[in-house]
């Protein structure tokens, strides 16, 4: 996965969580006036920050206590979303996204988690 897959992941997000997709699109279109990452490093960072921030807020607002963990590994970034509370997590409900950027790994794990709730 890479930045090239972000548009495909955003399309998947549109299918599973329209409200979060709408938040991301609104901020992307109105903050920098671009809808896809370009080659300018600052714009790439802003693009990723907007996606990551919106997904993190959606996770934090989730009523069944989703817990988010992110870390780097030799292959890039890994993100784990699991259901639980402090001191306890549900081992049957764990979703992992992996990618070379934290935003795409988080987006992939979030989509998987939302789909599993259905």
| Confidence (pTM) | 0.81
pLDDT of 2 strictly over 60: no
Task: Note the pLDDT tens digit of each residue in 12-57.
Answer: 999 999 999 999 999 888 776 555 656 666 677 788 899 999 999 9
Report the side by side order of strands in the sheet with 66-73.
Answer: 66-73, 76-85, 88-99
Per-domain residue ranges of the chain:
3-117
| CATH T-level fold of 3-117 | Double Stranded RNA Binding Domain (3.30.160)
Contact 52, 102 (CB under 8 A): yes
Pick from 33-37, 84-88, 113-117: least confident: 33-37
What rounded mean pLDDT belongs to the chain? Answer: 81
Task: Identify which has the larger pLDDT, 69 or 64.
Answer: 69
Query: Quick check: 65 and 93 in contact, CB under 8 A?
Result: no
């Amino acid at each position: 996965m890479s930045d090239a897959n972000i548009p495909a992941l955003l399309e998947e997000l549109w299918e599973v969580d329209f409200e979060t997709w709408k938040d991301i699109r609104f901020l992307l279109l109105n903050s920098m006036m671009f809808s896809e990452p370009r080659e300018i490093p600052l714009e790439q960072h802003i693009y990723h920050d907007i996606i990551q921030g919106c997904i993190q807020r959606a996770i934090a607002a989730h009523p069944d206590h989703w817990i988010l963990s992110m870390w780097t590994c030799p292959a890039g970034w890994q993100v784990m979303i699991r259901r639980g509370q402090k001191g306890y997590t549900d081992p049957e409900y764990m979703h992992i996204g992996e990618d070379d950027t934290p935003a795409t790994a988080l987006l992939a794990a979030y989509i998987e988690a939302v789909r599993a709730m259905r």
